[in-house]
Amino acid sequence: MVQARGGGVGDIVRRGYQPADKQDVFDISNASGLEPYDISELDELFSSWPEGQHVAYDAENEKTVGFLSGRIHRPETNRIYMFAVMPGYRSRGIGQLLLDGFFSLSRDMGSDVILEVRASNGRARRLYDSNGFVEVCRISGMYASGEEAVRMKKEITFITSNENPDA
Ligand SMILES: CC(C)(COP(=O)(O)OP(=O)(O)OC[C@H]1O[C@@H](n2cnc3c(N)ncnc32)[C@H](O)[C@@H]1OP(=O)(O)O)[C@@H](O)C(=O)NCCC(=O)NCCS
């Protein structure tokens, strides 16, 4: 487990997803504007690649407050499939904590990381930019709203200067 920076949210730790996190993860998704899905899909999603499913857990309040769900896109490329932090817990480094865990896992696998983000999602795009992601293409028809998705990629098979390889 790895601890996030402080900020009055108690002890936030990153750990692997557990079935007991399911309802909190579903609530975070709904509060964060992710594409709607049925809660029953989470079991399949999280069991398909257990190592790629991370949550941020508020130990003091016994609550899951963020999650990152990864997929193996193809050999040597992992995909950030779902990623969100509960409103009220944002801008305190919890998203970065989750990203660092996924980068560390991907580096161990010798894999780069891709993701898709809504073109209008400036907050998330800034975070990805600052983590070395670059736009590779635009995809239409991905979201129910019809908004364009931006596919971004980060090559992490080598260590870049803004990362802590031990995070
Ligand atoms: C995108 C998201 C997951 C980021 O989570 P987060 O916990 O807010 O992320 P962080 O706190 O690590 O970083 C966010 C910002 O806070 C800043 N920050 C981090 N720790 C900080 C601290 N202790 N004090 C002040 N600012 C801090 C970061 O520098 C970053 O700034 P930037 O946006 O200008 O780059 C969150 O905003 C979210 O859930 N959004 C809705 C769902 C979503 O868009 N998901 C992504 C879909 S692709």
Q: Please write the tens of the pLDDT for every residue from 103-135.
A: 999 999 999 999 999 999 999 999 999 999 999
Residue 159: is its pLDDT beyond 90? no
For ligand 1, the distance from its centroid to the CA atom of residue 22, given in whole angstroms, is 22
Q: Which ligand 1 atom sits closest to the C-alpha of 84?
A: 39
Using CA positions, which residue lies closest to atom 23 of ligand 1? 92
Report the residue among 80, 127, 164 best suited for mutation to probe ligand 1: largest number of ligand atoms under 8 A from its CB.
127
Q: Are 53 and 84 spatial neighbours (Cβ–Cβ below 8 Å)? A: no
Q: In this structure, is residue 30 part of a structural domain?
A: yes
What range does the domain containing 105 cover?
2-154
Residue 166, pLDDT score? 57
Would 21 be classed as within a structural domain?
Answer: yes
Instruction: Read off φ and ψ for residue 146, nearest 5 degrees.
Output: 90, -5
Round the average pLDDT of the chain to a whole number and report it.
90
> pTM of the full predicted structure?
0.90
Ligand 1 pocket, 32 CB below 6 A?
A: yes
- Domain with residue 18: its CATH number is 3.40.630.30
The answer as to whether 53 is a domain residue is: yes
142 pocket-lining for ligand 1 (C-beta < 6 Å): no
* pLDDT band at residue 46 under the 50/70/90 scheme: confident
Eight-state DSSP code of residue 8: S
Give strand pairing partners of 72.
Answer: 78
Which one has a higher pLDDT value, 72 or 156? 72
| Chain segment 49-96, per-residue pLDDT in tens | 999 999 999 999 999 999 999 999 999 999 999 999 999 999 999 999
Is the residue at 165 inside a domain? Answer: no
In a domain, 161, yes or no: no
Is residue 38 in a domain?
yes
Residue with tokens 């069991």: 47
Instruction: Tell me if 71 is assigned to some domain.
Output: yes
Task: Pick the range with the lowest mean pLDDT from 12-16, 85-89, 100-104, 159-163.
Answer: 159-163
Ligand 1 atom showing the smallest separation from residue 94 Cα: 7
What is the atom index within ligand 1 of the atom nearest the CA of 6? 23
Confidence category of residue 7, pLDDT binned at 50, 70, 90: very low
| Strands across the sheet containing 77-85 | 2-3, 12-16, 53-58, 63-74, 77-85, 112-118, 149-154, 134-139
Domain count for the chain, please give it. Answer: 1
Pocket test for ligand 1, best of 24, 25, 96 (most atoms within 8 A of CB): 96
Kindly state whether residue 135 falls inside one of the protein's structural domains: yes
b/e string for 51-87 if b means 16 or more Cβ within 10 A?
ebbbbbbbeeeebbbbbbbbbbbeeeebbbbbbbbbe
Q: What confidence category does residue 156 fall into, taking pLDDT thresholds of 50, 70 and 90?
A: confident
